[in-house]
Amino acid sequence: MDRIRITGGNPLNGHLTVSGAKNAALPLMISSLLTEEPLILNNVPRLADVLQLERILINHGVDIAVHGRKPADGDDSGQRMTFTAAEIVDTCAPYDLVSKMRASFWVIGPLLARMHEARVSLPGGCAIGTRPVDFFLYGLKQLGAEIDIDNGYVIAKAPPGGLVGGEVDLPRVSVGATHTIMMAATLARGKTVIRNAAMEPEIGNVAECLVAMGASISGIGTRTLVIEGVERLHGATVDVIPDRIEAGTFAMAVAMTGGDVLLRGARPEHLQAALDLVERAGATITREAGGLRVRRNGNGLQAVDVEVDTFPGFPTDLQAQFMSLMTRANGTSEIRETIFENRFMHVAELLRFGADIRVDGQLATVTGVPELRGAQVMATDLRASVSLVIAGLAASGETIVSRIYHLDRGFERLEEKLGRCGAKIERLAG
């Protein structure tokens, strides 16, 4: 297994291009199941999770083409890919494919809408909590589906003639359930209302894609989505939005190490809550043409409290990175996780750098220390892994991060991007 070696202590300077958002690319790819015509996606990141979803889609019968590089493409251009689900040959998503990534469960929505049946394994994914699928099943039932669970599989059947529009009041904001029910409702007969819908920018990206494919959706960017079902959807060409989590991660890395980095492509409106906190902690953030510039002059960081929330609040996917930052702040910071019940696994690893963190249920209390020292640490989940990289960049001496396959699931060429900004970071082949 590959590892990452970091020699800490160097500031970051230069520019980085933010890749396409993993959390948008995955549901956009899944949307291709809704039409027999080609869906072209620009700016798809090269990530293990994208490859994994490609395997699942291929199994359903989707033809996938990766377009070659064009002369105008820079080193940092994302992939242009075409997904054509001319014929769906299999409505089953098997355990060995779905168990590797939770988002693959979301195929249940489009399969059920277009093929009127689906058999999808219950999901796996990051070990950050139980992550049930009850909201998905409730939502699909509201659209008329009959649902059974058998042998670890969800077996869903639409009523004769297909799904019908319905009222879906989500008991709690769920990104995955919103994507899935929205996709399913595009081909249902009649009107669907999703209340308490997720408002994350990735939902907007997918909703706009569905509209470009011929769907009728209003309320995009609000807590209430209204979808008028249509008979069929057609092909479209859509850009994957820049990854706000990657942008926020880099902003925190610069705040941690000091330096001056332009994050090309970053959209401040997608991560305002996180930027506010990084600024309060001591970095200077300015909007510039084409991106965001993050600077810290090396003065001390300030402790800031944070409570994770759904968008537009501070994202759970940046909680581990922010905790890493707070390990070096002056004072004590309280970090409260509210979305997942087991998302503090990075704490034990951060302690190995000499951090001072206490955990009580969903609350972590971080008291800043004057220095972190390099350590051997292990990645435990996708976002936790990158918090260890950030700590390693700021720590004195050498850090080795093992089990970095978690990192490869969600961060494109991380060591290359950081290396170009002056970090001493390299991948060691396992």
List 3, 131, 223, 336, residue binding ligand UD1 (CB under 6 A): 131
State the nearest-atom distance from the C-beta of 337 to ligand UD1, in Å: 10
Quick note: the x/- pattern for ligand UD1 over 83-102, rule CB under 6 A, is -------------------x
| Of 164, 155, 34, 163, nearest in space to 88 by CA | 34
Q: Where are the alpha helices (DSSP H) in 272-318?
A: 272-281
Q: How far apart are CA 221 and CA 200, in angstroms?
A: 8
Quick note: the x/- pattern for ligand UD1 over 13-32, rule CB under 6 A, is ----------x--x------
Q: How far apart are CA 290 and CA 417, in angstroms?
A: 17
Q: Which is nearer to ligand UD1, 20 or 176 (CB)?
A: 176
β-bridge mates for residue 378, sequence order? 402
User: Judged by CB under 6 A, which stretch of 4-12, 174-182, 183-191, 266-274 contacts ligand UD1?
Assistant: 174-182
Where in 276-335 is the site for ligand UD1 (CB under 6 A)? 315-317
State the nearest-atom distance from the C-beta of 111 to ligand UD1, in Å: 17
**Residue 136 is a binding residue for ligand UD1 (CB under 6 A):** yes
**Residue 340 is a binding residue for ligand UD1 (CB under 6 A):** yes
Say if residues 117 and 107 touch (Cβ distance below 8 Å).
Answer: no
Strand order in the sheet with 63-66: 63-66, 79-84, 39-44, 236-239
Phi, psi of 233 (to 5 degrees): -110, 160
State the nearest-atom distance from the C-beta of 177 to ligand UD1, in Å: 5
**Residue 132 is a binding residue for ligand UD1 (CB under 6 A):** yes
State the nearest-atom distance from the C-beta of 356 to ligand UD1, in Å: 26
Where in 194-213 is the site for ligand UD1 (CB under 6 A)? 202
421 in active site: no
Say if residues 203 and 223 touch (Cβ distance below 8 Å).
Answer: no
**Residue 176 is a binding residue for ligand UD1 (CB under 6 A):** yes
14: left (phi over 0), alpha (psi -120 to 50) or beta: left
List 53, 133, 261, 283, residue binding ligand UD1 (CB under 6 A): 133
State the nearest-atom distance from the C-beta of 108 to ligand UD1, in Å: 11
CA-CA-CA-CA dihedral for 249, 250, 253, 258, to nearest 10? -150
**Residue 129 is a binding residue for ligand UD1 (CB under 6 A):** yes
User: Judged by CB under 6 A, which stretch of 1-9, 39-47, 62-70, 175-183 contacts ligand UD1?
Assistant: 175-183
Other C-beta atoms closer than 10 Å to the C-beta of 224 total: 12
| Of 239, 247, 326, nearest in space to 282 by CA | 326
State the nearest-atom distance from the C-beta of 175 to ligand UD1, in Å: 4
* Cα distance between the two ends of the chain: 4
| Of 29, 41, 46, nearest in space to 85 by CA | 29
List, in order, residues 6 or more apart from 360 with CB less than 8 Å away.
none
Catalytic residue among 92, 126, 209, 421: 126
**Residue 43 is a binding residue for ligand UD1 (CB under 6 A):** no
Q: Which is nearer to ligand UD1, 129 or 152 (CB)?
A: 129
Say if residues 66 and 79 touch (Cβ distance below 8 Å).
Answer: yes
| Of 400, 403, 396, nearest in space to 354 by CA | 396
Q: Give 155: exposed, middle or buried? Use CB within 10 Å, 0-12, 13-18, 19+.
A: middle
List 53, 108, 112, 135, residue binding ligand UD1 (CB under 6 A): 135
User: Judged by CB under 6 A, which stretch of 32-40, 124-132, 329-337, 398-406 contacts ligand UD1?
Assistant: 124-132
Say if residues 25 and 390 touch (Cβ distance below 8 Å).
Answer: no
**Residue 366 is a binding residue for ligand UD1 (CB under 6 A):** no
List 33, 48, 154, 175, residue binding ligand UD1 (CB under 6 A): 175
Q: Which is nearer to ligand UD1, 25 or 421 (CB)?
A: 25
Which residues participate in catalysis according to the annotation?
126
List of residues contacting ligand UD1 (CB under 6 A) = 23, 26, 102-103, 129, 131-136, 172, 174-177, 202, 315-317, 339-340
